[in-house]
Amino acid sequence: MNAGVNTGEKTAPVVVANPILNKDCILSLNRAYRYDDVYSFSWMMKWNHFQLLLDKLKHEPHVIYYPSAKQTIHLIATSLNSDQHLELLELLYQQLFLTFSANEINVDSVLNVSVTCNNTTFYKFIQSKGHCINDKGEALIMAASKSNLDLLQLIIKTPSSIMKSVETWQNVLIKALEKKNHEMVELIM
């Protein structure tokens, strides 16, 4: 039937040697999962399968996260940055506090990651859970350097007292001036 030709032996070296075929095969392998086979948080986030992740979290809480909370939170902050992701953020928030210990999830670092990733939605969401940033100085400077007026206003309006450091406010003002963001300068003044 196959006339003594082992197609596996002849095909594999050709696929491996050809970068286009190799890439296509790897992409096909990565995408060829059935619903029941998918359990990797990072895979669903990488391929923007947010609805699949939402469904998995609702019905099967057996999602595998990164080994560290820091990596997981960074991926959330970089990927889920609009109001359409609020339901997913809620489920992830509940799941992360079940999966990782309180020592692994430092709320200050979560808020700082949201500022670093310029993610106002994530910052607002974490703040709505009653968490506030303790050291606002670095967060204010980062928001100003990202020229994100909404984020800067959120940080300023948080219940804890704003740092009285003149140096911090000078740095925030410098970043706002560098970005030529006049609204931000007015807010700071």
Same domain, 57 and 138: no
Boundary (domain end) residue, out of 131, 150, 173: 131
Report yes or no on 93 lying in a domain.
yes
Task: Classify residue 25: in a domain, yes or no.
Answer: no
Contact between 123 and 156 under an 8 Å Cβ cutoff? The reply is no
Question: How many angstroms from the chain centroid is the CA of residue 54?
Answer: 15
Is the separation of the CB atoms in 126 and 114 below 8 Å?
A: yes
pTM: 0.71
User: Pick from 120, 182, 121: which is nearest to 139 by CA?
Assistant: 120
Shared-domain flag, residues 162 and 149: yes
Q: By residue range, what is the domain housing residue 108?
A: 34-131
Decide: helix, strand or coil at residue 40.
strand
Tell me, yes or no, whether 52 and 113 share the same domain: yes
Measured CA distances, 84 to 23, 51, 140 (Å): 32, 11, 26
Domain final residue, candidates 131, 149, 179: 131
* Residues 168 and 157 both lie in one domain: yes
- Please count the CA atoms within 13 angstroms of the CA of 168 that sit on its side-chain side: 13
Contact 107, 131 (CB under 8 A): yes
Task: Kindly state whether residue 126 falls inside one of the protein's structural domains.
Answer: yes
118 and 41 in a common domain: yes
> pLDDT per position in the chain (189 positions), as tens?
444 444 445 666 665 666 666 666 666 666 656 777 788 899 899 999 999 999 999 987 678 888 888 899 999 999 999 999 999 999 999 888 878 887 788 888 888 899 999 999 999 999 898 888 877 888 888 899 999 999 999 888 875 555 566 777 778 778 888 888 888 888 877
> Which residue type sits at 149?
L
Instruction: Based on the fold, state whether residues 123 and 163 are members of the same structural domain.
Output: no
Q: Among the three residues 116, 131, 146, which one is the final residue of a domain in this structure?
A: 131
Which pair of structure tokens corresponds to residue 81?
Answer: 């940055």
Torsions phi, psi of 68, nearest 5? Answer: -115, 145
How many domains is the chain built from? 2
